[in-house]
Amino acid sequence: MLLNLLGLNRSQLEAVCVGMGERPFRAHQMMRWMHQVGSNDFEQMTDISRVFRERIRVEANILAPELMQDTTAKDGTRKWLFDVGTGNAIETVFIPEFNIAEETQSEEVRLKRYRGTLCISSQAGCALDCTFCSTGRQGFNRNLTVAEIVGQLWYASRSVATDLNLIRPITNVVMMGMGEPLANFDAVVNAMQLMLDDHAYGISRRRLTLSTSGIVPAIDRLRDACPVALAVSLHAPNDLLRDELVPINRKYPIRQLLDACIRYIEKAPRDFVTFEYVMLAGVNDSVEMARQLVNTVSAVPCKINLIPFNPFSTSGYQRSSATAVREFRDVLMQAGLTTTVRKTRGDSIDAACGQLAGRVQDKTKRALRRQLIEVSN
């Protein structure tokens, strides 16, 4: 099997080059060709000797997951479905914010007025079974490799750069797609370190966000290994409700999670943690719940991101009304908490938060068991 260079960080690629009798700086050249130019053709790498190009081509390739489907919503949100083998497919979402000046202006000016966020998957399915998330309903098959994680960014960067005529079309990356990133810790950290590398994508730690449901020991590991912006899927102000909505809470309850967040901030690129809170009508969206949330997070420097629920079939939940969201937000803001309401993007193509499903051969059989329970009821 050929070695996929998309999955190698700088030191690993240097080792490959040295092992083939080349100087370590050849790795830096190859990284720029792969990740910045978007090339997967060794013949294009003209500042590398032909002899080395011919040798490396025999032993390695540059291979992103195979594209199965490319869909764009009217609001510009774009979703790719990638084949990751063994009957599984994952989804990746690009969200552009078009505050771009006229094309006659310089690239520097255009980039200051542009933001392109890529939402990347880390697993085929998810084992954590959050009740309001479509991915969790699919069950779980396996972790993605580093090459499969980075390959999503590689493919999107190359595709969007051509469409938007931008040199760096991806300004922000969120590990917020299918799967729980911290349950695939080593591959995700290696992939993020590659995203941060100036020889690759050069993304700022402040613009690289990892979203977790709250695996406390892994948050502590991330703090030491690769501190990036942290978002925590809270979704409830107390353990009783969170046990129901986010089952991992039964193992790592809110108090332990908040303590881990405080520890994380010591090394984080931002001086706060973002708490994500999906708004479910009649479940967690009352004014009383908002007051509880204020008390719960009061000791943690944080920002609250309220997320209108994005429906999917068989979810059993409804989106909170605009009035309920506004009243909930007002309680938080009056208490001094920085609070935003996420704008729903891409829901027409099932690309909004919580809607990513992909195609997963569920080895946990959880999705099948749920179907049988629903039929029996």
Which pLDDT score, from 0 to 100, does residue 202 have? Answer: 96
One domain for residues 70 and 146:
yes
One domain for residues 54 and 75:
no
Confidence grade of residue 111 (pLDDT, cut at 50, 70, 90): low
Q: Rounded to two decimals, what is the model's pTM? A: 0.91
Helix, strand, coil fractions of the chain, as percent rounded to 5: 40, 20, 35
The total of structural domains in the chain comes to 2
- Are residues 357 and 350 in contact, defined by beta-carbon separation less than 8 angstroms? yes
One domain for residues 49 and 153:
no
Final residue belonging to a domain, choices 61, 81, 102: 61
One domain for residues 173 and 313:
yes
One domain for residues 131 and 52:
no
Q: Is 14 a catalytic residue?
A: no
One domain for residues 199 and 50:
no
One domain for residues 366 and 220:
yes
Final residue belonging to a domain, choices 61, 85, 101: 61
Strands 123-125 and 140-143, bridge-based pairing? antiparallel
Token pair belonging to 212: 């977790």
Considering only CA atoms, which of 247, 244, 15 is closest in space to residue 128? 247
Which tens digit of pLDDT belongs to each residue from 212-264?
Answer: 999 999 999 999 999 999 999 999 999 999 999 999 999 999 999 999 999 99
CA R_g for the chain? 21
One domain for residues 246 and 359:
yes
Report the share of the chain in percent with pLDDT over 70. 88
Final residue belonging to a domain, choices 46, 61, 76: 61
Please give the Cα distance from 373 to 364 (Å, whole number).
15
What CATH number has the domain bearing residue 7?
Answer: 1.10.150.530
Q: Which of 14, 22, 91, 148 is catalytic?
A: 91
One domain for residues 205 and 183:
yes
- Residue 10's domain comprises 3-61
Q: Is 244 a catalytic residue?
A: no
One domain for residues 124 and 56:
no
Which tens digit of pLDDT belongs to each residue from 263-313?
Answer: 999 999 999 999 999 999 999 999 999 999 999 999 999 999 999 998 777
One domain for residues 262 and 152:
yes
One domain for residues 46 and 130:
no
